[in-house]
Amino acid sequence: MSILVNKNTRVVVQGITRKAVQNDMRLPILALVLLLVSSTGCVMVRDGNVKPPVQWPPHSNQQVKKSIALHVIEAGRQGASSQGSSPDAAEDFLSQAVKAYTESGLFSLVVTTGQPTDLEAEITVLGKGSDGLSWSGAISALTLTMIPGVVSQDVIANTTYRDRQQKVIGIIEKNERLGFWIQFFLLFAMPFVDGPNTIMNETQYDMHRVTIEEAHSKGFF
CB 42 within 8 Å of CB 183: no
Q: Is the pLDDT of residue 35 over 60?
A: no
pLDDT band at 16 (very low <50, low <70, confident <90, very high): very low
What is the C-alpha separation between 3 and 212, in angstroms, rounded?
93
Q: Do the beta carbons of residue 159 and residue 149 sit within 8 Å?
A: no
pLDDT at 8: 47
Statement: residue 106 has pLDDT above 60: yes
What pLDDT is stored for residue 188 in this prediction?
65
Q: How far is CA 200 from CA 59, 122, 196, in A?
A: 27, 20, 6
Condensed to tens digits (0 to 9), the pLDDT of residues 133-174 reads 566 666 766 676 677 777 888 999 999 999 999 999 999 999
Give the helix/strand (H/E) hosting 81.
none
The strand ranges marked E within 78-148 are 107-111, 119-129
Q: How many CB atoms lie within 10 A of CB 149?
A: 21
Phi, psi of 203 (to 5 degrees): -65, -50
pLDDT recorded at residue 7 = 45
Residue 18 confidence (pLDDT): 47
What does the pLDDT average to over 36-50?
75
| Calpha distance 156→175 (Å, rounded) | 5
Can you give the pLDDT at residue 217? 95
Contact between 141 and 184 (Cβ < 8 Å): no
pLDDT tens for residues 166-216?
999 999 999 999 988 877 666 666 676 777 889 999 999 999 999 999 999
- CA 135/CA 157 separation, integer angstroms: 27
For 118-132, the pLDDT digits (tens) are 999 999 999 887 555
| C-alpha dihedral (185, 188, 189, 191), degrees to nearest 10 | 150
| Global pTM value | 0.73
Per-residue model confidence (pLDDT) at position 37: 46
Q: What is the predicted pLDDT for the residue at 151?
A: 80
The pLDDT of residue 28: 54
Residues 6+ away with beta carbon under 8 Å from 83: 76
> Over the Cα atoms of the chain, what is R_g?
29
Strands (E), 1-65: 41-46
Write the pLDDT tens digit of every residue in 56-100: 999 988 889 999 999 999 887 654 444 444 667 789 999 999 999
3-state secondary structure of 145: coil
- For residue 169, the one-letter residue type is I
117 close to 68: Cβ distance less than 8 angstroms: yes
pLDDT of residue 187: 65
Query: Would you mind telling me the total number of residues written for the chain in this entry?
Result: 221
- Determine the average pLDDT of the residues in 99-121: 96
- The rounded distance, in Å, linking the Cα atoms of 8 and 1 is 11
